[in-house]
Amino acid sequence: MNTDQPLISVKNLSKAYKMGDIEFLALRNVSLDIEKGAFAAIMGPSGSGKSTFMNLLGCLDAPTKGEYLLDGVNVLSLGKNQLAELRNRKIGFIFQSFNILARTSAIENVELPMLYNNSVKSKERREKAMNALKSVGLADRAQHMPSQLSGGQQQRVAIARSLVNDPLVIMADEPTGNLDTRSSYEIMGIFQQLNDKGITIVMVTHELDIAQFARSNIMFRDGQIVSNTAVNARKIAKDELIKLPVINPSEVLT
Amino acid sequence: MRIVNLLKIAYRSLSKNKLRVLLTMLGIIIGVASVIAMLAIGQGSKQNIQSSVASLGTNSIMIYPGSSTQGGVRMGAGSYSTLTKKDAEAIVAKCEFVTDVSPVVQKSSQIIAGNKNWHTMVVGGLSQYFSIRNLKIEKGNIFSSNDERTAAKVCVIGLTVSDNLFGANGDAVGQFIRINSIPFKVIGVIERKGQNSFGQDQDDIIIAPFSTVQKRMLSTIFLNSILASATSEDDIDKAKAQITSIIRIQHRLSPNNEDDFTVRSQADIANIFGSISRIMTILLACIASISLVVGGIGIMNIMLVSVTERTREIGIRMAVGARGRDVLIQFMIESVFISVLGGLIGIALGILISMLVGKFGGWPVVITGTSIILAFAFSSAVGMFFGWYPARKAASLNPIDALRYE
Ligand SMILES: Nc1ncnc2c1ncn2[C@@H]1O[C@H](COP(=O)(O)OP(=O)(O)OP(=O)(O)O)[C@@H](O)[C@H]1O
Ligand SMILES: [Mg+2]
């Protein structure tokens, strides 16, 4: 691993969606480097290609053309099985809609990536899953089913799942899109903690205030990057949570 | 290591979808059980026919009036009137390959004893009739040649007749019965033979001397049939040929005339019955296969209905690092488990149904290993295929397409 080279490096990445005869170019020659330890927030209007870009970065989809190096590995030259291993070991992906298995307890959901990872012994598995749940503050909800958890808690299960194989990078597509402000800030708190520990984070968001928790903001428009700027007054989740007004039920009634 | 994990994954998935597993299994259970039960019933009737045909005496030969090409074997009385007692006597005199010969006449009659009455077939034959048909006497005696000569009003009755006229414990021997108003003395009771393959009660019969039935009840010179038994099983064909030529001479048939009678051995009849029961087995097997197919469609249905949910699940698994192969193996383990367990339950249920049919339906059943293997293999294949097929489809998608699948 070369410390000089960026963790993520894409050049002229394009993605065309085919619908019958019509081709729609959702990404147009996007080039971007993301350094190790970065915390980037991707913003842009709806339909500008943010999710498309994230899915390519997360190796969930294949581009139409371009280059993509992840941690020095040429991703586009890999076969299906190697991509699966890459997703398993190096990437933690978080979805707006959580995508955790229904009727499966929180702890079993967190264990899932380790079941596809041979280097994790079965004895370590439960312990590692428990630690991951602890780090997102859900140790006491380990046996709960998704239907017994709030949206914010489900998203934290998904984060614990993404962490459990010690990935290099966490990719999150609108992780707070379905959550209220408090839950969103809590998620940001977790992200900032992870980022402080050296994990790279790339996150898509619609909300300006959420983007302020990142170190840099990347703007998308019509399938292209229009700006990439550092965040000036970066918000710290711990402080912001304290500032949030506590809603007192009796006050609301009066 | 990997397979242990996949087993764990499959186990978790199965235990989380108990209802779906159960419904899928139900299709297999019903398919397997019905095939086993149907084939057991078919096989049972086949063996029953074989054994009851054999119990009639393997050496026996029957001669019926009427040509076989004019409409096959005539079981009914008096369809054709060509055979007479003289033909029977000619066979006795000239055929070297037969031991016993008996002319047979029969008439369906009303029987009265005291205040009871019964309707049954009265057969007239010689005393040889008993040995040819392998009938044994339980009580009393059969009639003698003297009874035959004098057309004595004596008879031997079957157990069903005895039970109905004299009660289950009554002693019929020595009693008098009226057959079509003519008084007959019962001199013997025949040992129980049970039902034949067609469910006909072989004990519902009265046998009287040939001359008695012919002269006192029928007043016709024509016979319903002639029964004979060959000297040995190997001589049956020779006996048949000789009987044919003897009767042709008797009937003065020129070479270009067809036979006006039919000679059949027990083996011929066994073959005919054998092919009847084969057809029946095939029919039952068809019904059973239909239920297997319907079961298969049920499995398919449930699998396809769950495909949306499962495709999303597969997308999630692939997003966290499952390879296409991992997904396939997981689904194979699940389908094998469902099909094998369903198959085993189906086998147990099929055997149970067969035994119940045998016990309460009075129908013989024979469960064969082939039918078990056949049903099990087919339904397992269906279960596995339809469990595996959606998984294969989903596993070949991009993870993101599987996640988006609606
Ligand atoms: N599977 C697909 N097939 C066809 N077109 C698609 C597909 N996915 C996305 N698109 C199109 O590509 C464009 C970019 O979509 P994308 O989902 O990347 O937008 P986005 O920036 O994530 O928007 P949002 O903020 O609403 O999530 C859109 O115009 C969309 O209609
Ligand atoms: Mg999007």
pLDDT in tens, B201-217: 888 999 999 999 999 89
How far away, in angstroms, is A216 Cα from ligand 2 center? 19
How far away, in angstroms, is A178 Cα from ligand 2 center? 12
Interface contact A100, partner B, CB < 8 A: yes
How confident is the model at residue B98, as a pLDDT? Answer: 92
- Tell me how many residue pairs between chain A and chain B have CB atoms under 8 A apart: 75
Do the Cβ atoms of B319 and A99 come within 8 Å?
A: yes
**Looking at the 3D structure of chain A, how many domains does it have?**
1
How confident is the model at residue B241, as a pLDDT? Answer: 92
> What is the mean predicted confidence (pLDDT) over B123-150?
91
Q: Using the predicted structure, report yes or no on whether residue B307 has a pLDDT greater than 50.
A: yes
Q: How far apart are CA B150 and CA B143, in angstroms?
A: 11
Which residues of chain A are within 8 Å of residue B15 when distances are taken between CB atoms? none
How confident is the model at residue A203, as a pLDDT? Answer: 97
pLDDT tens per residue, range B337-353: 888 899 999 999 999 99
pLDDT band at A6 (very low <50, low <70, confident <90, very high): very high
How confident is the model at residue B397, as a pLDDT? Answer: 84
Asked whether residue A131 is domain-assigned, the answer is yes
Asked whether residue A112 is domain-assigned, the answer is yes
Helix (H, G, I), strand (E, B) or coil at A63: coil
Interface contact B116, partner A, CB < 8 A: no
Candidates B12, B315, B321; nearest CB to A108: B12
Domain extent, residue A83, equals: 37-63+79-251
Q: How far apart are CA A201 and CA A152, in angstroms?
A: 19
pLDDT > 90 fraction of chain B, expressed in percent and rounded: 34
Token pair listed for B242 = 């000789």
How confident is the model at residue A2, as a pLDDT? Answer: 53
Q: Are A241 and A185 in contact (CB under 8 A)?
A: yes
Q: Are A165 and A111 in contact (CB under 8 A)?
A: no
Name the DSSP letter for residue A242. H
> What is the mean predicted confidence (pLDDT) over B42-49?
78
Q: How far apart are CA B243 and CA B251, in angstroms?
A: 12
Q: How far apart are CA B297 and CA A126, in angstroms?
A: 40
Q: Are A160 and A110 in contact (CB under 8 A)?
A: yes
How confident is the model at residue B78, as a pLDDT? Answer: 45
Nearest CA to ligand 1 atom 9: A52
Asked whether residue A141 is domain-assigned, the answer is yes
Asked whether residue A228 is domain-assigned, the answer is yes
Interface contact B329, partner A, CB < 8 A: no
Q: How far apart are CA B405 and CA B400, in angstroms?
A: 9
Asked whether residue A23 is domain-assigned, the answer is no
Q: Using the predicted structure, report yes or no on whether residue A227 has a pLDDT greater than 60.
A: yes
Q: How far apart are CA B137 and CA B190, in angstroms?
A: 4
Non-local (6+) Cβ contacts of A108 within 8 A are A101, B12
- Of ligand 1's listed atoms, the one at least distance from the Cα of A220 is 21
Give buried/exposed letters for B265-280 (b at 16+ CB in 10 A, else e): bbbbbbeebeeebeee
Q: Using the predicted structure, report yes or no on whether residue B394 has a pLDDT greater than 80.
A: no
Which residues of chain A are within 8 Å of residue B310 when distances are taken between CB atoms? none
pLDDT tens per residue, range B228-238: 999 888 888 89
Q: How far apart are CA A115 and CA B101, in angstroms?
A: 84
Task: Find the range with the poorest average confidence among A58-72, A172-186, B39-53, B314-328.
Answer: B39-53
CATH of the domain at A115: 3.40.50.300
Asked whether residue A74 is domain-assigned, the answer is no
Measure B20 CA to nearest chain A CA, in Å: 13
Alpha-carbon torsion (B80, B84, B90, B96), positive or negative: positive
Q: Using the predicted structure, report yes or no on whether residue B47 has a pLDDT greater than 70.
A: yes
How far away, in angstroms, is A62 Cα from ligand 1 center? 15
> What is the mean predicted confidence (pLDDT) over A74-103?
94
User: Which protein residues touch ligand 1 with a CB less than 6 Å away?
Assistant: A 17, 19, 24, 26, 44, 46-52
State the CB neighbour count (10 A cutoff) for residue B140.
17
Asked whether residue A5 is domain-assigned, the answer is no
Asked whether residue A84 is domain-assigned, the answer is yes
> What is the mean predicted confidence (pLDDT) over A97-116?
94
Token pair listed for B249 = 């001479």
Question: Among the residues of B95-176, which ranges form H helices?
Answer: 128-132, 145-150, 159-166
Interface contact A93, partner B, CB < 8 A: yes
Token pair listed for B347 = 């086998």
User: Average pLDDT over chain A, rounded to whole?
Assistant: 93
Q: Using the predicted structure, report yes or no on whether residue A254 has a pLDDT greater than 70.
A: no
Q: What is the pTM of this model?
A: 0.72
